[in-house]
Amino acid sequence: MQFIFIISLIFAIPCHSLFILLPLYLYPGTSASAWSNVTAAIAADENVQWQIIVNPNSGPGTYPPDANYISAISKLNSYPNVVTVGYVATGYTQVSYESLTAQIDVYAQWASYPDADISVAGIFFDEVSNTATEE
């Protein structure tokens, strides 16, 4: 309910161009039912641009993702005002470079999935360090 209220507030704000970055970490459910409020908000105004971060399994998980994610991500990608981005956790610099690139490679494979458009247009790196080191 709070989510619907927040989305309603966003659409009540007068502006010429609105951009929303939404971390959508919730499991989509059957036929993307858990994401229906999000897709309704996306469809409500094509002038609002959305970047949606998807996170099937604290990263991409296995290829291909399960059928519910395939259906839901394909639906997101059908909207002209949506850019879908894949989630990768860096573990505050504790995740190895090899593991990070392997996760990115799995997301890259999504672009070649033959039965639906589940491609992602970018990667969101989370759990990054807030301090600089020489390493």
pTM of the model: 0.84
The pLDDT value recorded for residue 133 is 72
User: Residue 11 pLDDT > 60, yes or no?
Assistant: no
What is the band of 129 on the pLDDT scale with cuts at 50, 70, 90?
Answer: confident
Which of 119, 134, 53 shows the shortest CA–CA distance to 89? 53
Q: What percentage of the chain has pLDDT greater than the value 90?
A: 79
Residue type, 54: V
Residues 55-84 have pLDDT tens digits of 999 999 999 999 999 999 999 999 999 999
- How far does the chain reach from its first CA to its final CA, in angstroms? 45
In the predicted structure, residue 13 carries a pLDDT above the cut 80: no
| pLDDT of the residue at 132 | 77
